[in-house]
Amino acid sequence: MADQSTPASRKMAKLIVAEEKEDGNYGFREKIIPLDDVEEELEEAKKLT
């Protein structure tokens, strides 16, 4: 079993953000972040809307 303290064993989350473009279409960005940072990322994304 892997040592839980190593960086490779950290739980990660994949976020996909949709952005509406000027022409009405949508573009998508994705980010992989540590699971502990999800709430912070969501708060930042809400500020952009």
Confidence band (pLDDT; 50, 70, 90) for 11? very high
| Domain-located, residue 13 | yes
Question: Hey, is 16 helix, strand or coil?
Answer: strand
Residues 12, 33 contacting (CB under 8 angstroms): yes
**What is the residue type of 34?**
P
Greater confidence (4 vs 40) lies with: 40
Q: Is residue 11 part of a domain?
A: yes
Helix then strand then coil, % of the chain, to nearest 5: 35, 35, 30
Q: What is the mean pLDDT of residues 2-7?
A: 57
CA distances from 39 to 6, 22, 25, 33, 34 (A): 23, 28, 27, 11, 10
Check residue 46 and give its pLDDT. Answer: 82
Question: With contact defined as beta carbons under 8 Å apart, do 12 and 35 qualify?
Answer: yes
Does residue 2 form part of some domain? no
What is the tens place of the pLDDT at every residue in 17-44?
A: 888 999 999 999 999 999 999 999 889 8
Whether 1 is covered by a domain: the verdict is no
Whether pLDDT at 1 is above 50: no
The whole-model pTM stands at: 0.58
* Residue span of the structural domain in which 21 resides: 7-47
